[in-house]
Structure 1
Amino acid sequence: MKLKLDKTLSLVAIGVVSALQGVQAAPVYEIKNIEDFDLNGTIESTRNGYGMFVNGNNESVGVSKGKKKLSVSDDDDDGVIDIEDGIAPEEQIIYSIDLPIVANNFTFTSDENGASGAWIPTFESVFGTTPPKDSDPDVPETINSIDAYYYGISTAGVKVGAYTAPEQTVEYTGSNEDQEYWYYREFEERGFVKLADGTEVPLLPPITEYYSEDEDVTVTVGGMSIAAAINEHNVVAGYASTELSSTSIDRIESCITGETYPIDICVQREQYPNSSGYRNIVYQTRAYVWDVDNAQGIELPLGLESESETVFTAQGLGINVDGIVAGRSHVYRNGNTDKLAYDAAYWKKDSDGDYQYHWIPMKDDQRYSIAYDINDNGILVGSYNQYLDGYPRDKFFYFDTNNPDEGFVTPHDFFETISDRASRPKDINNLNQVVGYIEVTADKEKPRVKAGFLFDKDKDEFSDLNTLLTCGSKGYEQDAEGEWVRNRVEVEDGSGDTLSYESEIRIVEANSIGEDGTIVGTAFIRKPSYQFDSDGNLIIGDNGLPLFEIDGNGDPVTAFIPRMVVLQPSSTGEACPVEENDNSGNGNYERKGAASLGALLLLPLLWLRRRVKR
């Protein structure tokens, strides 16, 4: 069930799955961080959690996003309430030189033998970050201004990721009344390594400053670097800025000569994204490797040679034990300068020990591609983007770097031909097992529901992880007759009424798989939604509890929130036999309604600044 794409893709309209998981050959999985049908999947006082990577010792790292502390609407109570369950409006991150910088991303660890319990997320400070639970809006020094991310951890416990500089201030001289400071930081993204003993090592990019010859002034611009992956020899793969673009230099020169803002504040303003998401200061970016033991960095070659001032980019995202780096780079396909693409690539040392760039050949109708990871067998996984049935879709592929002439292979997923279900791999272990996510509904015009997948390359077996779970891991329990029914959660709201809703857990992304089959990723868990006033404050009842949103039947309105999830093969359980035809992505994979599931599609699948490796 696979097709090499040196043949023409031919798709048919697919309405039903042919023989989905016809025989249960894949392992049965249990969710290990579940307690009373709830997920211990984020750190205290945060809403969302994401599992990023698991190493050979079943130690994992993750990222929490979104603080839960919200002001209450009761005029007699100027405190805060910590919503332990439920959906709250996402706190907007406002990029402004006129406002204090407030972090919204926090690093955590979680492991099978954790001091607080198995797989309990535990906040871990990076470069002085503070726990979100300790933030007090009335005590500015407790508010964390450093955003931090973990992307990987080696078996030796060495972690890699990225962080931002802390907030700094400049005395305000503008026209806003009551404003005391302008706010800025020295850099927006910097890769780092955290050793097992707690030592933190920043990975500096080649450019952190700009010198103006005309004005004889040196300006801190910060640059950018990301540590995305680490292997067992303490070699880190990632990417870093190497020089400023010409237009960025013009912007900085204007900051130096301008009179509206101090130089540092002007530079910060130009580095923040505008309303369209673009930044005025950009860099040439190249794939990089760093040797942790001697702190040396090596720039990897770009996929093309050019003396133009065009901004080109290359990124290292995964690395194996031999130091082969997987990622992507701008390239002129087949040397044709009319066919610039941003394509999957890998970098491998030659006989002289120098890294050489290798393109993974794509066809003209494949718009772009990316490689996320590579295992110690040399099997690389990635995805390409192509119009399928009239819509641009990502499709998962694998590629054997030891036999590059064979080309890449696009596995079939749930069907007898390559479907138009978008899919992306995120990790591959040394047993050639791949995890990632795939779309499991067939809407053409609407966003599609996603599910985590497990693909066994050697068996050519593709599975929706939700079909491999035990019933208890999906939110079911057995009734008095032994039938599996969804667990009902009872909650009291601000009116004093006791309301109930059904438990539901769905795996929406698998980010990493260990050699023993342990998987970490992201699951959605169903929670009730709260009522907020026009100012965005919780509406509190007379009993001091917040009021839930109620539907026409008097039941609480629910939605899905993302939480870190840990899966391990079950030695005793069986895959849940309950057939689900309720738009869950299981059963016949045909959507059946339930508009609330649109929330599944809003999962911020954690960007491309990520990848982690042993």
Structure 2
Amino acid sequence: MKLKLDVALSLVAIGVLGVLNSAHAAPVYEIVNIDDFDLKGTLDGTRNGYAMGVNANDELVGVSKGKKKLSTSDVEGEGDIFDDENDGIAPEEIISYSINNPIIANNFAFVAAQNGTEGAWLPTFESINGTTVPSDTSVINSVDTFYYGINDAGLKVGTMTAKEKKTLNTSTTDVTDDYWYFRDYEYRGVAKVADAEIPLPPPYTQYVKDDKTVELGGWSAATAVNNLNLVAGYASTGISKYGAERVDFCLSKDNTLPVDVCVQREQYPNSSGTRNIQYQTRAYVWQIDENGSPVGTELPLGLTPASDNTLTLTAQAMGLNDNGVVVGRSHVYRNGSSKALAQDAAYWAKDAEGKYKYHWIPMGNKISSSIAYDINDNGIVVGSYRSYIQGYPRDKFFHFDINTPEVGYVTPNDFSSKPTDLSSKPRDINNKGQVVGYIETTYDKEKPRPKAGFLFDKSTGEFSNLNSLLTCASKGFEQDKNGNWQRHQILVEEDGSGKTLTYDADIMVVEANSINEEGTIVGTAFIRKPIYQRDTDGNIVLGDNGKPLFELNGKGEPVTGYIPRMVVLKPAASDAQACTVDDSVDTGNYERKGAASFMWLFALPLLWLRRRVG
């Protein structure tokens, strides 16, 4: 049977399009990784794809996720210490790590390029730490890998986990196939050029007490790289007070597990999503020399803790420019007051002696926290702060010039001539002052808000929803014989039970993560797809004919949903026009499959949550 539901385009799409302004001077963009109204946006064998960074040569790095069902820890990151909203993974999607279960990878780094060896902008798997392509179901990977940045010479940076180890479980009578599972570290920074991998270890990896040494592994992450092969990120420099107490327990007679297994249990996220073993974390840089060897440098914390201070203090570097100026955030006592501890945006620059010096980006008392994500070669920092606006916590995009720090940070207006309460976060800025990121697009107070990628031009102050700059063909439209634009109809001829499905093509850019000097933008888009049934292990359920079964609504009809995929946008030809079709009166057949599937529409790519671990 053919499916045609009597539902209008989702309120989410209406909300997104309702804020678009067709009158703009920003460049027109087209999505260039579209193939037959589909996005070439993830690796085979995975569900979701995210583009994280692009260089001057139109080469990008990204991450594919979802070989298995996602867990709360996959979403929230390794001990995530940010206050960002949950991204809406349903309870039935939860898989928790346990020392009693094998470790199965769910994240795979990839590259793509305009002139890619396997095709233009085709995601191509990259092995790190021995991982194998996710489409090879004969191999079970235990290593999660992530790429976050790439420089013009092709040096890529990100993180990796250690490989799974196992030891016989001696707590049961029958130990023939019963093991405990653990690994040497939870995550570690890594750089890669060609086939050469360069681990970026943290300075603190061992716990030493009396005559005993415990290998903890610590943690580190590489978040960005400049064209001088300087890598920015963060690393463990010590252990938290409570973490030390938990390691002491593992060393005590009260512990019945092997020490390595006990330590692993304490490093896994617990039911509340936190880890018992936390680390003192500092912003860090690694200089990769001509021989491919990294030399690490710890950047100063934003405060000097008292000798009896037992707090776990954190600083993280998130971006840097080709002048070696690093940006991120750090714990700091605002205005020197120990009663005003906050995590605020910061930058680190070398002084006359060549040593990095910490600089606070001043924030007012009404701002609870802030972070800087990137800085261009002209010294313009972009970041966001969190504050209550109209009674609700919101994140607002700001820019700051390190050449005139006395001016303070500036909060641009977005879709209005006046400030709004729409949350927004920047991700990247190029040397032309073009900023990309994401912004909310509706003004609901009590409901989750959909998001869209934005382009901001600092020189003109123009702020654009990227969806309003796209050509019609980049949004899922095609022309009929009269030259009128209409949504392309996608037909899925048969599922495992013989049902057919017809639905409207639909593409929405929800986040922009990187922009190069030529204006190429990479990020994430939602694309409409059929929803297929999955079993409790996350595998697609097949019918008698070997084809997957559609997920059905309460009426027994197939439904569609939105899936995140890598997206690449390039400035269109000079005569191209942005699409002016009024989507709000268009009809579609999207229907949510419970609240959790609907929440995917409001979710930002998971990678930034995973990136901000610590």
Q: Judge conservation of contact 2:28–2:469 (CA < 8 Å) in 1.
A: yes
Q: Is the 8 A contact 1:328 1:342 kept in 2?
A: yes
Match of 1:268 among 264, 270, 273: 264
Q: Residue 23 of structure 1: CA displacement?
A: 2.8
Distance 1:292 1:484, change over 3 A: same
Report what 2:206 is aligned to.
209
Equivalence for 1:395: 396
What is residue 12 of structure 2 aligned with on the other side? Answer: none
> Does the CA contact (< 8 Å) of 1:102 and 1:146 recur in 2?
yes
**Aligned residue identity for 1:575:** A
Q: 1:18 offset after TM fit, Å?
A: 11
What residue is the counterpart of 1:37 in the other structure? 37
Q: CA RMSD in A?
A: 2.5
Structure 2 partner of 1:61? 61
> Is the contact between residue 226 and residue 609 of structure 1 (CA under 8 Å) also seen in structure 2?
no
Q: 1:117 to 1:532 in 2, by over 3 A?
A: closer
Secondary structure of 1:222's partner? coil
How many Å separate the matches in 1 of 2:96 and 2:19? 48
Q: Contact between 1:439 and 1:451, CA under 8 Å: does it hold in 2?
A: yes
Aligned-residue offset at 1:398: 0.3
Deviations 1:152-207 (A, max 9, x none): 11100001111010001112101375652110000001001112x32111111111
- The 5 A counterparts of 1:472-551 are 472-491=473-492, 492-532=494-534, 538-551=540-553
Output aligned runs, 1:211-230, within 5 Å: 211-213=208-210, 216-230=211-225
- Note if 1:143 corresponds to 2:145: no
Distance in 1 between the 2:62 and 2:420 partners?
32
Matched, 1:340 2:341: yes
* Counterpart in the other structure of 1:376: 377
Deviation readout 1:477-528 (Å, 9 max, x if unpaired): 1112211111111002223233201110000000000100000000000011
Greater shift after overlay, 285-294 or 390-399? 285-294
Of the three residues 180, 196, 202, the one matched with 1:199 is 196
Alpha-carbon separation, structure 1, partners of 2:106 and 2:112: 19
Moved more, 22-31 or 230-239: 22-31
Counterparts of 2:24 and 2:218, CA distance in 1: 50
Q: Does 1:285 align with 2:281?
A: yes
Distance in 1 between the 2:535 and 2:58 partners? 44
| Counterpart for residue 458 of structure 1 | 459
Aligned 8 A contact 2:68 2:106 in 1? no
Q: Residue type of the partner of 1:241?
A: S
Q: Distance in 2 between matches of 1:546 and 1:69?
A: 17
Cα shift readout 1:223-260 (whole Å, capped 9, x = no counterpart): 01111111111111111000112221121111012341
Distance in 2, matches of 1:271 and 1:69, equals: 21
Distance 1:36 1:20, change over 3 A: closer
| Structure 2 residue 168 is the aligned partner of structure 1 residue 171 | yes
In structure 2, distance between residues paired with 1:455 and 1:133 = 38
Separation in 2, partners of 1:496, 1:231: 53
The 2-side partners of 1:90 and 1:372 are apart by 33
Write the distance in 2 (CA, Å) between the matches of 1:187 and 1:368. 29
Q: Evaluate the alpha carbon distance shift between residue 372 and residue 609 of structure 1 in structure 2; reply closer, same or farther with a 3 A threshold.
A: farther
Give me the whole-angstrom Cα distance separating, in 1, the residues matched to 2:122 and 2:418. Answer: 41
Greater shift, 359-368 or 602-611, is seen at 602-611
State the 1:543 CA deviation: 2.4
Stretches of structure 1 lacking an aligned partner (at least 5 in a row): 1-14, 71-86, 137-141, 585-593
TM-score scaled by length of structure 1: 0.88
Query: Residues 91 and 103 (structure 1 numbering): CA distance in 2 closer, same or farther, change over 3 Å?
Result: farther
Structure 2: give runs of 5+ residues left out of the alignment.
1-14, 71-88, 588-593
Q: Which amino acid aligns with 1:186?
A: D
Asked if the contact 2:61/2:148 (under 8 Å) is kept, the reply is yes
CA–CA distance in structure 2, aligned partners of residues 549 and 521 of structure 1: 28
1:309 deviates by 1.9
Structure 2: how far apart are the matches of 1:18 and 1:562? 21
Q: CA distance change for structure 1 residues 121 and 91 in 2, over 3 Å: closer, same or farther?
A: farther
The letter of the residue matching 2:267 is Q
Structure 2 residue aligned with 1:428: 429
CA deviations 1:391-446 (Å, max 9, x no partner) are: 10000000001111111100000012110000000000111000000000111111
Q: Tell me, what secondary structure is at the counterpart of 2:406?
A: helix
Identity of counterpart residues, as a percentage?
60
The count of corresponding residues between Structure 1 and Structure 2 is 564
Letter in 1 for 2:220: S
Q: What is the rounded CA distance, in whole Å, between the counterparts of 1:521 and 1:28 in structure 2? A: 17
Pick aligned residue for 2:127 from 125, 128, 142: 125
